[in-house]
A and B are shown apart, each in its own frame.
Chain A
Amino acid sequence: MVQVLSRHELAIEREDDVVIVRRKVRTLAHDRGLDSFATAGITTAASELARNVFAHARRGSAAIEELTDGPRNGLRLTFRDDGPGIADLERALAGGYSTARSLGLGLSGSRRLVDEFQIESVVGRGTVVVVTKWTRF
C-alpha cells in the first residue's frame, strides 16, 4: 500500500529554480535510499522536466513526494504548468520534437529513466507530468 510520507512543493518561475528542484530531488532520493544510479536517473529526469516547464510555460511547479510501499521506498514528482500544452503527445514522447531548448529528448528521455510515467496535456491549458522512481530489490 503506497503511503505518502512527505510533500514538498517548489515553484518554477526562474531559471535558477531548475537547479533548486534538482538539488531537492537529489537530496530526497538519497534519503529514500535510492542508490547512486537511481538517484542520478530521477534527478536527471527532474532536471529535464523542470527545464521543460520553464522553457515552454515560463511558470509552473514541481511537487516532490516521498513514498513508501512496504519494503520499498520511492519518490514521486509532479510537474505542472499552465503553458501552451503539447499538441502531438505521441510524437513528443517518441522524441520527435527538437526545438531550441528541446522538448523532445527531455520528455522521452525522462520517461526511460523512471519506473512510472504519466502525462496529461491540453493545448491552451497546460501540462501535468507525474513520474515515480522506486528503490530496487
Chain B
Amino acid sequence: MTQINYMNRLRLDERELASRRAFFEITDEDLARLATLRAFGERHSTAIVDALYDLILGHPESRTFFTDERAVARVKKMQQQYFIGLFGGRLDLAYVEDRLRVGAAHERIGLAPKWYIGAYSRYLRLLHDRMFAEMSPADASAAFLSIKKLVAFDMALAIDTYNAANMDTVARHQAAIRELSTPVIRVHHRVLLLPLVGTVDSHRAEQIMETLLLKVVDEQARAVIVDIAGVAVVDTQVADHLLKTTEAVRLLGAETILTGISAQIARTIVQLGVDISTMHTRARLADGIELALGIVGRVIVAKEA
C-alpha cells in the first residue's frame, strides 16, 4: 500500500498553517507558556500516558487494537513523545509533519476518530487535574486554555489524515471498478480483445478509450478487436465514440476491428448515416479474431486428421 503524502494532500504549506493557527487562536503567548511548562510535562508524562492506556485497554472494543504487550510498550513510548511535543513551544511545519505521522499511524491500524478523540478528551482531563493540583488557579487556567487549543489543532490534523486516507481508498476502488468494466483480454501475442457489454455513455466511453490505449502501449498490440454484441444500444453517439477510439488506436500505430455487428446494428448505423467504412468490421467475433491474427502474420490451420 503506497504511503500518502499528507502534507501535499492536505496542502499543508505556510499559508495553510498560518490559517489554521489563526482559526484555532493559538498565539505566540500560548506557545511560550507551554514551553515554560516542559518540565511539568516531562514529570507527568509517564503517569498520564499510563492512565490514558488504562482507559484504552480497559475498554473491550478499543482493547482489540492492542493485542500484545510489546505493541503496547512501543505505542506508550510513541505516545510519551507525542505528549512532550505539546510542550515544545513551536508550531511550525515540522511540528505538523510530526503530528500527521501520528494520524497516519492511527489510520493504518484502523483506529477510528471516536477512539482517539475519546483519548484526547482523557488527556485533557488528566492534564487539567494535575495542572490545578500543582499551579495557582490563575496559572492553571491559562495553561489549560493554551493546551486545549493545541490539542484541538492536533485533533483536526488527525481527522484530516483519516479522511484523506479514506478518500484515497475510495479512489482506488473506483479505479478497480473501472478496470473491471473494461476487461481487455490478450487473445494472442500483440492481439487484444475488448468485449463491450451494457450501456456505453460518454463517461464510460472515455474510460474505455483510455484503458484501451494504455493497454495497447503496454502490450505493444498491433490489432485490437472490439466486440459490441453485448452493447445495449448503438446510436450515433456510441458509433461516434467507437470511431474516436479507433482513430486514437490508429494514432498509436495499431488497427481496430469491430465485431459483433448484428443485422440490427448494421441497419441502425447505415440509417443514421454514420460512416464507419474506414474501420474493419465483422459480424462474428471469430472472423474478427482471424483477421486480427492475419495482421500479426498468423493463420489458423486445421490439424492433420
A residues contacting B by CB (< 8 A) are 5, 31, 37, 71, 136-137
Select from chain A the residue with minimum beta-carbon distance to B213: A37
Distance in Å: Cβ of A82 to nearest Cβ of chain B: 32
Q: Which residues of A contact B8 (CB under 8 A)?
A: 31
Interface residues of B in 221-241 (CB under 8 A from A): none
Query: A5 CA to B11 CA in the complex, in Å?
Result: 9
Q: Which residues of B contact A71 (CB under 8 A)?
A: 167, 170
Q: Which residues of B contact A136 (CB under 8 A)?
A: 203
Q: Which residues of A contact B210 (CB under 8 A)?
A: 37
B174 interface contact, C-beta 8 A: yes
State the total of A-B contacts with C-beta under 8 angstroms. Answer: 8
B residues contacting A by CB (< 8 A) are 8, 11, 167, 170, 174, 203, 206, 210
Distance in Å: Cβ of A8 to nearest Cβ of chain B: 13
Q: Which residues of A contact B170 (CB under 8 A)?
A: 71
Q: Which residues of A contact B11 (CB under 8 A)?
A: 5
Distance in Å: Cβ of B217 to nearest Cβ of chain A: 12
Q: Please name 8 pairs of A and B residues whose Cβ atoms are closer than 8 Å in the assembled complex, sorted by A.
A: A5-B11, A31-B8, A37-B206, A37-B210, A71-B167, A71-B170, A136-B203, A137-B174
Query: A5 CA to B15 CA in the complex, in Å?
Result: 11
Query: A71 CA to B166 CA in the complex, in Å?
Result: 11
Distance in Å: Cβ of A61 to nearest Cβ of chain B: 23
Query: A37 CA to B248 CA in the complex, in Å?
Result: 13
Distance in Å: Cβ of B175 to nearest Cβ of chain A: 9
Q: Which residues of A contact B206 (CB under 8 A)?
A: 37
Distance in Å: Cβ of A69 to nearest Cβ of chain B: 13
Query: A31 CA to B170 CA in the complex, in Å?
Result: 18
Query: A5 CA to B12 CA in the complex, in Å?
Result: 12
Distance in Å: Cβ of B19 to nearest Cβ of chain A: 11
Select from chain A the residue with minimum beta-carbon distance to B167: A71
Distance in Å: Cβ of B293 to nearest Cβ of chain A: 30
Which 5 A-B residue pairings sit nearest by Cβ, starting from the closest? A37-B210, A137-B174, A71-B167, A5-B11, A31-B8
Select from chain A the residue with minimum beta-carbon distance to B13: A6
Distance in Å: Cβ of B12 to nearest Cβ of chain A: 12
Distance in Å: Cβ of B231 to nearest Cβ of chain A: 22
Distance in Å: Cβ of B160 to nearest Cβ of chain A: 13
Distance in Å: Cβ of B162 to nearest Cβ of chain A: 15
Query: A31 CA to B5 CA in the complex, in Å?
Result: 12
Q: Which residues of A contact B174 (CB under 8 A)?
A: 137
Query: A136 CA to B8 CA in the complex, in Å?
Result: 19
Query: A31 CA to B8 CA in the complex, in Å?
Result: 8
Q: Which residues of B contact A137 (CB under 8 A)?
A: 174
Q: Which residues of B contact A31 (CB under 8 A)?
A: 8
Select from chain A the residue with minimum beta-carbon distance to B163: A71
Query: A5 CA to B203 CA in the complex, in Å?
Result: 27
Query: A37 CA to B217 CA in the complex, in Å?
Result: 14
Distance in Å: Cβ of A99 to nearest Cβ of chain B: 25
Query: A135 CA to B11 CA in the complex, in Å?
Result: 17
Distance in Å: Cβ of B8 to nearest Cβ of chain A: 7
Q: Which residues of B contact A37 (CB under 8 A)?
A: 206, 210
Query: A137 CA to B171 CA in the complex, in Å?
Result: 7
Distance in Å: Cβ of B114 to nearest Cβ of chain A: 22
Select from chain B the residue with minimum beta-carbon distance to A37: B210
Query: A130 CA to B270 CA in the complex, in Å?
Result: 38
Select from chain B the residue with minimum beta-carbon distance to A41: B206
Select from chain A the residue with minimum beta-carbon distance to B11: A5
Query: A37 CA to B167 CA in the complex, in Å?
Result: 21
Query: A136 CA to B171 CA in the complex, in Å?
Result: 10
Select from chain A the residue with minimum beta-carbon distance to B174: A137
Distance in Å: Cβ of A68 to nearest Cβ of chain B: 9
5 further A-B contacts with Cβ under 8 Å, apart from A5-B11, A71-B167, A137-B174, are A31-B8, A37-B206, A37-B210, A71-B170, A136-B203
Q: Which residues of A contact B167 (CB under 8 A)?
A: 71
Query: A9 CA to B233 CA in the complex, in Å?
Result: 46
Distance in Å: Cβ of B134 to nearest Cβ of chain A: 44
